Amino acid sequence: MTAGGERPAPETEGIVVTSRVRLARNIEGFPFPGWSRKPERLRVLEKILPTVEALPEMKGGASHAMDALAALDKQVLVEKHLISREHAGKNVGSAVVINRSETLAVMLNEEDHLRMQAIRPGFCLEKVYALVNEADTRLEEALPFAFSSKLGYLTACPTNVGTGMRASAMLHLPALVLADHMSKIISAVNKLGLAVRGLYGEGTEALGNLFQISNQMTLGEREADILGRLKNVVSEIARHEINARATLLEKSPRMLYDHIGRAYGVLAHARVISSKEGMNLLSMIHLGVALGAFGRLAAEDVDRLFMETQPAHLQRGRGRSRLSAEERDALRADLIRSVVGRGEPPKLDIPPPTGESPKTT
């Protein structure tokens, strides 16, 4: 396995937004959560929750019974990618434990008894794997995981049997979308046994030009091989994005500037912005920042806005009365305008890159 040893290219910065690995585990002798009744789910929870909470990684972290969390708080966790949309729908008998830095989250009684994930900004699949693997090893010492020497870890859904691992990277691919190359790339990636999904996982739209690439198979392959292959493909896609940016700058600068200019113009002056429009336009600002078009605006400012303008994040801290969609759209526009409109307009005379190895930063 040579692939796993490669260092991520520095150009992928800002393109690979986050890296994530999750492991699915179950406890021997208990039915899977989907087949369990409430008393059984509670018994599993009683068995595993203290062990998870006692992990050294979880020191200073937070533990939530899903029935004790308000709908809004659940939604905030979904927007942070700390729990799944499915888990947000769970109630009595389910829980989540999250470490202090919000890089490690263990869902209890989601589809499996345990779904643990590590997530971090940037292109760092091995690092997040190491983090979740360490927690997994500790838990395995204390809990009787359902394991078959022939199949590997047993899971509620056959697609997770084996490693129980789903590794993924979230990529920001605005130039590939503008150049209309994504369907070609998605089909090529699918042929390599990897899945391409939208911002919130399976069946969701690629809002903000964000695409999640993950392994499909969990059986018959070692974790390191899966990670190595994913890493290679993600590097390859990131290189395509870099090339697409260079090509747009060289061949269609006006079209590119038009998208960035319009995004700036609308975000800096609109008074009503939907969540979807906000994400798609912030994506263009992010691209503009990466291309050096914005003097004062930093990529972090855009990332923060992206998160803070999600519906639940917007609602949070606005008192108890639930905001209407119109109120959120107004609040979102005001928030974005106060950040994007504060800076200077983009300087859209970006020179096309020269040489064979274009850099965008």
Asked if residues 38 and 92 have their Cβ atoms less than 8 Å apart, the reply is yes
Q: Coil, strand, or helix at residue 361?
A: coil
Q: Coil, strand, or helix at residue 194?
A: strand
Residue 13-52 contact track with its own copies, rule CB under 8 A, x = bound = ----------------------------------------
Of 63-71, 121-129, 141-149, 342-350, which segment contacts its own copies by CB under 8 A?
342-350
Answer for which of 201, 261, 343, 358 binds its own copies (CB under 8 A) is: 261
Smallest distance, its own copies to C-beta of residue 340, A: 10
- Would you count residue 343 as binding its own copies (CB under 8 A)? no
193 vs 341 by CB, closer to its own copies = 341
Residue 278 CA, distance from chain mean position: 18
For its own copies, the binding residues in 301-330 under the rule CB under 8 A are: 330
Instruction: Give residue 292's region: left, alpha or beta (phi > 0; psi -120 to 50).
Output: left
269 vs 304 by CB, closer to its own copies = 269
Answer for which of 206, 333, 339, 350 binds its own copies (CB under 8 A) is: 333
170 vs 302 by CB, closer to its own copies = 302
For its own copies, the binding residues in 128-157 under the rule CB under 8 A are: none
d(CA 241, CA 74): 34
69 vs 281 by CB, closer to its own copies = 281
φ/ψ (deg, to 5) at 283:
-60, -40
Asked if residues 64 and 96 have their Cβ atoms less than 8 Å apart, the reply is yes
Of 42-50, 106-114, 253-261, 303-311, which segment contacts its own copies by CB under 8 A?
253-261
Residue 190-229 contact track with its own copies, rule CB under 8 A, x = bound = ----------------------------------------
User: 193: which 2 tokens?
Assistant: 């046994």
d(CA 206, CA 200): 8
d(CA 31, CA 46): 15
d(CA 53, CA 45): 11
d(CA 102, CA 85): 17
- The angle subtended at Cα 103 by Cα 146 and Cα 336, nearest 5°, is 135
- Would you count residue 266 as binding its own copies (CB under 8 A)? yes
Smallest distance, its own copies to C-beta of residue 85, A: 30
User: 219: which 2 tokens?
Assistant: 């059986």
Of 100-108, 156-164, 218-226, 257-265, which segment contacts its own copies by CB under 8 A?
257-265
- If one counts every other C-beta atom within 10 angstroms of the C-beta of residue 27, the result is 18
- Would you count residue 268 as binding its own copies (CB under 8 A)? yes
**Binding residues for its own copies (CB under 8 A):** 254-255, 257-258, 261-262, 264-272, 330, 333, 341, 345-346, 348
